Amino acid sequence: MRVASRYMESHCWGKKFSRNLNKVGVDNAYEFKLIDHFENQCDIKADNLFGSRDYLRLFEDSGNIKYLLVEQSGVAIGLVPIFLSAFDLKYLEKRLADHCASSKAFLNLLESKRKIAIVGNPFSCVESISVNEIVDQTLCEAVIRHLERAMDQEEFGDKVEALVFKDFSNGENAWTRSLEKLGFHKLETEPNMSMIVSPDWEELANYKADMKTKFRTKAKSVFKKSSDLICVDLQADQIGDEEKVIKGLYENVCDNAEFNLGKFDISLLKELKKNMPNDFFIKGYYYEGKMIGFASGFENVRTLEAFYVGFDYTLNKDLAIYQRMLYDYVEEAIKRKLVKLNFSRTAANLKNAVGAMPEQTFCYFKHKKSVYNLMYKIVSGEKETKPVRYKAPFKKEYLNQMNKITLAEY
């Protein structure tokens, strides 16, 4: 997919980086610098919003992000964002405990939470590593080896126990070959649910018309249940006014999630809207004058990326809050004339009913202690997974049209 020129031109980073340089390392032709901040302008271009300076710099004040600056012959050629987070192992426990005889012994080795370094963006399913040069295996291996050394030597500041690289789809590339060669474990995550937005959809009615009768009836039921909801596109000041409510609604959902790579700082939603007023949106859902839900998202090149949501579980069944949000994401993508909608992970059945299909993704991890890696290898080898059956909500005419279209064509 051809990258939109505004990201290539406006989201680039400076030659004069932060004066706060932690460590410098050299691996063959590459030089590495672990930095906390960056300043001014440079020639490293982000090919999507999640690798842009406007997005990443919001996390710097928290102290939970660092960058690996990659240089070649004194010229900056890449920037790798690294998020430091506490990883809640209840997801891993749930995935393994029912299938593996050895899982209990493995999980007993681990505390309930560990500090990990996430290479990539923990808050999206989009790669955010920016490299100007051709990404070959030599470069990937050099980056991975340096990050391993940084972890072993505790250069991240916090005591980091493991490295996690995310997200990768099916198929090999230089990163996946390098990670597997260097002993990282491939961990299947929940699939990213996504859909192609037809160029013929000018409004939500066109989208519904392309659905099979069963799924069109489901949509009708959702809109009927949620008819008393008032949806408001929130501006920065409104987000600030509702921050306490938004935080509570977010934590309702976060606490019920199986898998978290750290909680998102809800106070950043206001800053995202201020810094990216056109690319970021957040909708508030009101019932009887009270906010009972919110849904946020980004326009990322030509894709709408669903971001964080929150809602009142006690009202969700009667008002179909979450399902209404999913249809509103579709309408937002149509309104913005985008070509793809990423719903992200979780609630796959509900997203499938709206029209999304799975894109399997993987992450790679490696613990600094070999015993943990050995135990995981034993445990994961015993795990059995049942295939999930997804339905096709759209008519054959839509499917035939989408099969003929590639994202690069429109």
What structural domains does the chain harbor?
Answer: 5-189+361-382 (3.40.630.30), 193-359 (3.40.630.30)
Q: Which of 406, 363, 375 is nearest to 102 (CA)?
A: 375
What single-letter DSSP state applies at residue 41?
A: B
Residue 302 makes CB contacts below 8 A (sequence gap 6+) with 1, 4, 338, 339, 340, 407
CB half-sphere exposure, 370, CA atoms < 13 A: 1
DSSP H/E element including 72: strand 65-72
Can you name the residues that pair with 169 across neighbouring β-strands?
Answer: 361
pLDDT at 9 (0 to 100): 33
Closest Cα to residue 48, out of 167, 176, 153, 190?
167
- The rounded distance, in Å, linking the Cα atoms of 294 and 313 is 12
β-bridge pairing 303-311 and 340-344 = parallel
Q: CB burial class (10 A; 0-12, 13-18, 19+) of residue 394? A: buried
Residues of the chain under the 50 pLDDT cut: 1-24, 40-41, 99, 101-102, 109, 112, 382
- Residue 266 token pair: 């809800």
Residue 315: in which H helix or E strand, if any? helix 313-319
CB 64 within 8 A of CB 57: no
For 326-358, the pLDDT digits (tens) are 999 999 999 999 999 999 888 899 999 999 999
* pLDDT value of position 8: 35
pTM score, two decimals? 0.83
Lookup: tokens for 386: 């049942």
Q: What is the pLDDT of residue 41?
A: 42
Tokens of 204: 């939500």
C-beta separation of 109 from 371 below 8 A = yes
DSSP state of 50: G
DSSP alpha helix (H) spans, 109-242: 137-152, 174-181, 204-209, 213-225, 236-241
Is 331 buried (19+), middle (13-18) or exposed (0-12) by CB count in 10 A? middle
- In the prediction, which pLDDT does 21 show? 38
SS3 state of residue 405: coil
In angstroms, how far is CA 381 from the centroid of its own chain? Answer: 27
Q: H/E/C letters for each residue in 219-253?
A: HHHHHHHCCCCEEEECCHHHHHHCHHHHHHHHHHH
CA pair distance 50, 102, nearest whole angstrom: 38
